[in-house]
Structure 1
Amino acid sequence: MRAAAVVIVLLLFTAIVACAPLQAQSVIPSTTEAFVRNAHLGLAHVSAPDGGTAAERYITALSLGASWNRFPLYWDRIETSPGNFQWSAYDRQIADDLQFDLQINAILLGRPGFYADGERITGMHTPIFADGTDTPAADKPLNPDNPWARYVFETVNRYKPDGAAAAAGMLPPGVGIRVWEIWNEPDVKLFWSASIGDYARLLKVAYLSAKQADPNAQIMFAGLLFGTEDNWLARVLAIFEQDPQREAHNWYMDIVAIHAYADPWRTGWLVLNVKQSLIAYGLTRPIWVTETGVPVWDDYPGPTWASDPAQHQLRATQIQQAWYVIQSAVYGWHEGADVLIFHQLYDDCGDQPAGTDFPPHNGTLCAAGTLCSGDAHGLFRNVRSSVCFSQHPVPGSPRPSATAYLLLAQVFDSGFTPLPDITLSAEQVSTGQPLGVFAAAFEMADGRRITAYWNRTATATTIAVDAAGFNAQRVMLDGDELLAPDENGQYRLVLPPAMPDGYPELQPGADSAIGGAPVLVIERPEGVVDLVRFQRSLGPVGVPVVSVPQAPTTPTPIPTIDPANDTTAPLAFMRPLPDSSPTTFTVAWGGADNSGIDLYLVWVRVDGGDWAPWLETEATGATYQGEPGRRYEFDVWARDLAGNWTSRTELVAQTATTVE
């Protein structure tokens, strides 16, 4: 990545985990099945160690459609002295993630000081197994003089499905971690200052040790930033090419990852670069984008006062950040990426030290080198209880990028295959500049075709594209619309202009790195599409306001602590309702608590009148009979198994619908 862009991400790992807002107790949900879940999307740092992650934070991530959470398991925080492993902090975090049905991309990272051998790890180049070889066999013991091999084995063995943590009652049965990323950005000296050959050894030792613990583990080549001309993947492959065991062990990598920031085009370019590096050795692998994002400058804690465009470089406005989310995903997916993990759910601390905080200001705090701005990477602004940057006037609220992420999760809601590149002619583009328009198409598993377009120039552009079906749905951040082809069998699409962003090294035909507002076109070749009203509005903890609730269920409470010791109030939330409903419609709700939910008290308000109790029930859904022309609002409280009620005593319309 460009040298300036590297600075943005250098210190993210050192501060961010410490900055997630915490609660005294971990919480477990009753249900999570009503949320959209997209297997191709994830978020970085949803949770924090010690099990202190607020339930609202999990619900926010789930409501956006995320399936993956990415976070590090720091070796130096687990092995506190040689052979002494302290698991409790990560036990609680991982247990909560799995209870909330998040899949985990775990990063193995961080050398204990007592295992330092210059820039290397002590014993890493010694044989992996006790018989003096690197050749695995069933139940073969590890070499006790290779501490990295032991750490990897013990960690994977503990957190695999039905592993040691499950046997100890710390994790639910049948679930665990399967994806293990080996280090973070080894091509950046902040994270890895040893050689490329040392990283190749680190990866090989990790691969064989992890597979010894769990043959189904998936080992990921660490996310590379590609901040220099040196291609670490190609260099490591060249080393492995000389290894006689490489074919027997999948070249010591099951997945390859990249990191891409600031310029959405770079996401696709790096995925393509990785594909070509693998092809050079006759290989293919799933490619993940395990970090992608851009911070905003026009919202706290960014430098909102900055008037010099140079101060905005490698940052974006809030609406550009939203456009970036869609564009980075489309670029990456179209080049063959499997999963994209966006950095990140909340601003947290960014690369600033834990405790960094200040009020919004107009630049007056920027005196004598005082830290006066931070990284606003988050899809959501920090909550008031955050360790850093807690003074936004609307704490915990979503940025437009949250809507963009939610829209991606819904539109690309099934498997998809990239279609060949689209080339527009000058006659199809009103400006006569086809290089100024990006276009990419996907075939969905359900037969739909989705084509993404955006304008890369500063001039509004209209394009004429051939229709594949009898109609189409246009999807933008601000709404949905059905389109009919004109007399020439074409759709005419207006592509809003890109905004200036001051990025260097623009691609041919582009006036800005981040293009204008993306336009998604959904068609069914030789068929008809029905209008789908996608969710866009998000509540204060990320629960979508517009949704189709699932069928009601009755949960079985799963206590995580003895109810006698539970003094924490439960959380209760309504599942979203659509804007309009028939006279008979389903209302659904859910909750989360340490000891489990005992019952719910559901409230209803009609046409803005007085609130009235509707149901007292253990179920998480029921059918409501409404009257045409009336509006119904709903709220819910919960009581846990210890007898604690929801702490919120005021009634708030968490969801609403109007009966047609």
Structure 2
Amino acid sequence: MRLRLGLLLLAVAVLLIPPTSPGSKPFLPRKDSSSLVDDRYGIDFINGAGYSIPEFRYQQAVASGARWDRWPMYWHLIEPTFDQFDYRAEDEALERDLAHGLKVEAILLGTPGWTFTAGSAVAPFSRVEDKPSPRPAPGVRPLNEVAGASSPPRNLGEPVFRADGSINRDNYWGYFVYNTVSRYKDRIKVWEMWNEPDFLVFWLGSVEDYYQLLKVGYLAAKAADPDATVLLGGLAYWTNAQFLPRLLDLMASDPPARQKGFYFDALPVHLYASSYDIYQETTRTQGLVRSKLGVDKRIWVNEANVPVCDDAEPGNGTPFCPARWRGTMEQQADFVIQAFALAAAADLERLFMFQFYDDVMPPREWYGLVRNNSRPRPSFYAYQVAARYLINPQQATYESRGQVEQVTLTGTPHGKVTVVWNNSFEPVTARIKALTGSAQMVFKNGDKRTLKADGDYYVVDLPPTTYRDEVSGTADIGGEPYILVESGTAKIATRVEALPDFAAGRSFTVAWSQTDATGIPVTFDIEYREGKGGSWKSWLSDTSAATAVFGPENPVPVKEGEVYYFRSRGRDPQGDMEPDPPADGHALTKIPLYLSGRVSDNRDNPLRGATVASADGLSVAQSGADGRYSVLVFPRGTYDFTARKEGFTELPYKAIGLTESLGYDFVLPPKQEAVANGGFEDKLNGWTVEGNAVQKSFRHTGKYGAYIGAPGALSQKLTISPDMQLPTLSFFYRSPASSKPGELKVSLAGASGSANKSFPIVGDDVWHNVWIDAASIRGEATLRLSLEGADAVVWLDEVSLGLSNPPPPVGPQPLYLPIITSGTSQ
């Protein structure tokens, strides 16, 4: 597997942390998380390719309220050699994210060494997660200090598509993007084209070079998945103030760009160390886009935070405060609440905090909401509070009144929510217009108290800010924010929690919860639907449980290849019911089928690293060291599969009907082949027919096979090369249940020797793969397959005579592990 530097550093960090006391456990989040969530919010690097994080870290992430994870797919690690892709680390991280209900925003970046155009071949590429400074200084570094992985790839100017509309493999970046988006299109819908192209560490090219890379990436991604959202590479923002205006000018002067949406769907920026930038700089950016392009584009902030400088916990070693563009742990928590509030006011489509765990060692910065030893910082609880209360507003407004900053969210599931803080270095009292006679005041650590209105206003004493920018002297992060929640007239509401795209088996746990803020106790009616066209049926009525296991036989037998939908309705103590749930329910999951088996060579040796793939390319797996493979398929149906491996002849596609999981073995014929038309696809050309022998559509692979009825035979003259390694005769045979007993005789005879073998015909209706050692035979020989026995019948296919165990290709070879990718979706 590819080795991740960040994980090596993290391993060292863990070794530096003193052991906990005997019997101690990891620190769980101490505040409850609500099922009320907003799809707006995410965190960078909850997981990542190659991270292999523990389950506990996922529990913390889900408890935080985050619903998005952002991490990179490094091109130079995935495709170190042209057209040789290794997605194993990405597959593992993605499947675990999806299984925990997290959506993924994937960053595509990192030029492979075989297509560098500048930079150093030995300097390490700066990883997205290893951020050295919250606001990197602009400037020029010698090219020999910047990794070639930051350079524009060769052939960016080649056409993205060939004349027939297919992707052009000679445009290396476009080919990589197309291949990657095609692979994950049913599981990832957001793709970011590079990271911080306005920062020399990540991009050595010009603005023009990046525009070309963006265009190629956009066109390739949309060709692979028209529903994909393509992001411009998130901007470091402060490093090169002219990058974005120049890029927008290039777009405006490119006539075809307007019809293609200027080659991006949303524009992300990275904003650190000032919570006010979340509002001020994103609205300024949106205005710049509007003035240059004449359109409105969605704005994201997919990195935001302030690194900490006062964490004295053993093993952390953060710098002392005050420090430039760094804050205390309490100031980091203040930043999180203020960033959430200002993101809502700016109507940002997405907001990500960078990052979940520290995951690095000094001299890198400590950005984590959680320390490497799994102890949450105050910012974790602040994120949890913000993700619970600052959600789904119908309207959000921002007011700056002297020393008081106020963001008001109305129409939320909680009612009216007001966030207020002090922007000055002196205490101040705020007066906030009251909607109701009392409100819940929520603090950044999750604590609450009831606040009574003083007439028409709530009166709140706001503490001063303690954060002063070391350069400007300004208060770029306000004082501790308070959240006032006025519930108003909220109604009861429930929902079934999101389920994995594919269930792990024919039984799975379904969970549901109350999502309103009324405090009214409810019971639940849970319904299910089998299939898109099925009808809703009652599963559980008036239950107070929050989970139940569905299947394998209760309430109905769960079928492979089917999709199951779920919805809930709440019932209050008076028996009043929640309004009707959505017509398609709250959640669904699919029950996959699996095609499993073994891939071997013509001597029944297992083949590792063979690819088993469907004709549509949506179901793909690689065989392990024992030759075993397992590929996920959905829905039920007939699929064409083949197996292939370098050094062997690719098999014709086999139509396999899948109404339930099925086993199927593939035998790969060698490249050096002595038998002509051994698959009988070209009628019986090349064979001499004796008696009752014809081509039939019944076959093992391809479209045709051969049929022999006793007495009958097939033979052909062939030549076995003197330099053929371990000549081996291999074929499949099958006798139908209607066959009478008989004997299939195989003879291979030449001047240098012969091989003879017989096989019983017993009418077992099973394909048998057999092989015969032909090592003693060289030169011209005659192969004859004959059937004896009255009314005996046999089918033949994949007759092959060639070398066995070919020598491995020259050079280092990848280690293949079994992987499963998603099949077709309904």
Common fold: TM-score over 0.5: yes
1:379 is matched with which residue? 369
Per the alignment, in what secondary structure is the counterpart of residue 195 of structure 2?
coil
Structure 2 equivalent of residue 49 of structure 1: 49
* Cross-structure match for 1:120: 152
- SS of 1:76 mapped into structure 2: helix
8 A Cα contact 1:182 1:222, kept in partner: yes
Q: How much does 1:209 deviate?
A: 0.6
Aligned equivalent of 1:272: 283
- Specify the alignment match of 1:613 in structure 2: none
Structure 1 stretch 54-63 or stretch 408-417: which is displaced more? 408-417
CA distance change for structure 1 residues 231 and 209 in 2, over 3 Å: closer, same or farther?
A: same
Would you say 1:400 and 2:378 are equivalent positions? yes
* Counterparts of 1:34 and 1:442, CA distance in 2: 18
1:338 aligns with 2:349: yes
Cα distance between partner residues in 2 of 1:149 and 1:210: 8
Whether the aligned pair in 2 keeps the contact of 1:460 and 1:494 (CA below 8 Å) is yes
1:495 aligns with 462
Aligned-partner Cα distance in 1 for 2:240–2:53? 39
Question: Contact 1:75–1:111 at 8 Å: present in 2 too?
Answer: yes
> Larger helix proportion, structure 1 or 2?
1
Please tell me whether the aligned partners of residues 370 and 377 of structure 2 are also in contact (alpha carbons under 8 angstroms): yes
Q: Is the 8 A contact 2:332 2:379 kept in 1?
A: yes
| Residue 429 (structure 1) aligns with | none
Could you tell me which amino acid in structure 2 is paired with residue 475 of structure 1?
V
State whether residues 393 and 409 of structure 2, in contact with CA within 8 Å, keep that contact through their aligned partners in structure 1. no
Change (3 A) 1:314 1:148: same
Partner of 2:67: 67
Q: Which residue of 2 aligns with 1:293?
A: 305
Partner of 2:146: none
The equivalent residue for 1:167 is none
Separation of aligned partners in 2, 1:581 and 1:106:
40
Note if 1:523 corresponds to 2:490.
no
**1:481 counterpart = 2:430:** no
- In the TM superposition, what whole-angstrom CA distance separates every residue of 1:278-319 from its partner, at most 9, and x where no partner exists? 11021112211111111211114555573xx55x22221111
Query: Does the 8 A contact of 2:51 with 2:93 survive in 1?
Result: yes
User: Aligned residues: percent identity?
Assistant: 30
Give how far 1:504 is off.
Answer: 2.5
Deviations 1:316-344 (A, max 9, x none): 11111111111122223322211111111
Residue 459 (structure 1) aligns with: 426
User: Which one-letter code corresponds to 1:114 in the other structure?
Assistant: W
SS in 1 for 2:304: strand
Amino acid at match of 1:233: L
Q: 1:223: Cα distance to partner?
A: 0.9
Q: What is the CA–CA distance in structure 1 between the aligned matches of 2:195 and 2:185, rounded to whole Å?
A: 21
The structural deviation recorded for 1:54 is 1.9
Aligned equivalents of 1:554, 1:346: Cα separation in 2 = 25
Aligned residues: 475
**Cα deviation per residue 1:624-650 (whole Å; 9 max; x = unaligned)?**
xxxxxxxxxxxxxxxxxxxxxxxxxxx
* CA 583–283 in structure 1, closer or farther in 2 if over 3 Å, else same: closer
Coordinate RMSD, CA, aligned: 4.1
Q: Distance in 2 between matches of 1:283 and 1:553?
A: 35
Counterpart code for 2:297: R
Aligned CA distance change for structure 1 residues 554 and 232 (closer, same or farther; 3 Å): closer
Greater percentage in strand: 2
When residues 415 and 159 of structure 1 are mapped into structure 2, their CA distance, relative to the original with a 3 A threshold, is: farther
TM-score (norm 2): 0.52
Tell whether the 8 Å contact from 2:465 to 2:479 is kept in structure 1 after alignment: yes
- Compared with structure 1, are the counterparts of its residues 516 and 183 closer, same or farther at alpha carbon in structure 2 (3 Å cutoff)? same
Aligned equivalents of 2:307, 2:215: Cα separation in 1? 35
Counterpart AA for 2:371: R
Q: Which residue of 1 aligns with 2:162?
A: 130
**TM-score, normalised with respect to structure 1:** 0.64
Q: Is the 8 A contact 1:19 1:348 kept in 2?
A: yes
Please say if 1:141 is aligned against 2:166.
yes
- Cα separation, 1, equivalents of 2:154 and 2:377: 45
Question: Which whole-Å CA distance do the structure 2 matches of 1:304 and 1:188 have between them?
Answer: 25
Q: C-alpha deviations, 1:218-237, integer Å up to 9, x for none?
A: 00011111123524232212
Change (3 A) 1:17 1:104: farther
Find the aligned partners of 1:553 and 1:219 in 2 and give their Cα distance: 25
Contact 1:17 1:45 in 2 (8 A): no
- 2:337 is paired with a residue whose SS is helix
Amino acid of the structure 1 residue aligned with 2:342: Y
Among 190, 209, 226, the residue aligned to 2:237: 226
Distance change >3 Å, CA 20–CA 130, structure 1 → 2: farther
Structure number, greater radius of gyration: 2
Matches within 5 A, 1:70-469: 70-118=70-118, 119-131=151-163, 140-161=165-186, 176-228=187-239, 230-280=241-291, 281-299=293-311, 300=313, 303=317, 306=320, 309=321, 312-349=323-360, 352=361, 374-382=364-372, 395-419=373-397, 421-424=398-401, 434=402, 436-446=403-413, 448-469=415-436
Task: Give, in whole Å, the separation in 2 of the partners of 1:494 and 1:515.
Answer: 14
Structure 2 distance, partners of 1:555, 1:240, is 40
Deviation at 1:446, TM superposition (A): 4.7
Letter in 2 for 1:127: P
Rate the CA distance shift 1:581–1:144 in 2: closer, same or farther, 3 A: closer
Secondary structure, aligned partner of 1:182: strand
Superposition deviation, residue 194 in structure 1: 0.5
Q: Which runs of 5+ in 1 are unaligned?
A: 1-13, 23-32, 132-138, 162-175, 353-370, 383-394, 425-433, 533-547, 561-572, 598-660
Q: Distance in 1 between matches of 2:319 and 2:470?
A: 19
Over 3 Å counting, the alpha-carbon distance change for 1:51 and 1:345 in structure 2 is closer
Structure 2's unaligned 5+ residue stretches are 13-32, 119-150, 506-510, 524-542, 553-826
Q: Write the deviation string for residues 145-199 of structure 1: whole angstroms up to 9, x where unpaired.
A: 21001000000000001xxxxxxxxxxxxxx000000100111100001001111
Residues 503 and 520 (structure 1), Cα distance of their counterparts in 2 relative to 1, 3 Å cut: farther
Distance of aligned partners of 1:549 and 1:297 in 2 relative to their CA distance in 1, 3 Å threshold = farther
- Distance in 2 (alpha carbons) for counterparts of 1:18 and 1:284: 43
AA matched with 1:413: I
- TM-superposed deviation, 1:551: 8.2
* Structure 1 counterpart SS, 2:53: coil
1:202 is displaced (CA, Å) by 0.6
1:51·1:96 contact (CA, 8 Å) conserved in 2? no
AA aligned to 1:82 is F
C-alpha distance after superposition, 1:220-264 (max 9, x if no partner):
011111123524232212111122211221110101100011121
Could you tell me how far apart the structure 2 residues matched to 1:490 and 1:36 are? 28
C-alpha distance in 2 between matches for 1:150 and 1:17: 29
520 and 503 in structure 1: CA distance in 2 versus 1, 3 angstrom threshold? farther
In 2 relative to 1, CA 493–15 (structure 1 residues): closer, same or farther, beyond 3 Å? Answer: farther
CA contact (8 A) 2:301 2:350 kept: yes
Q: Is the 8 A contact 1:196 1:235 kept in 2?
A: yes
CA offsets 1:537-556 (integer angstroms, 9 cap, x no match): xxxxxxxxxxx998899999
Tell me, what secondary structure is at the counterpart of 1:121?
coil
CA distance in 2: counterparts of 1:195 and 1:180, whole angstroms: 22
Given that 1:41 and 1:409 are in contact with CA atoms closer than 8 Å, whether structure 2 keeps it comes out as: yes
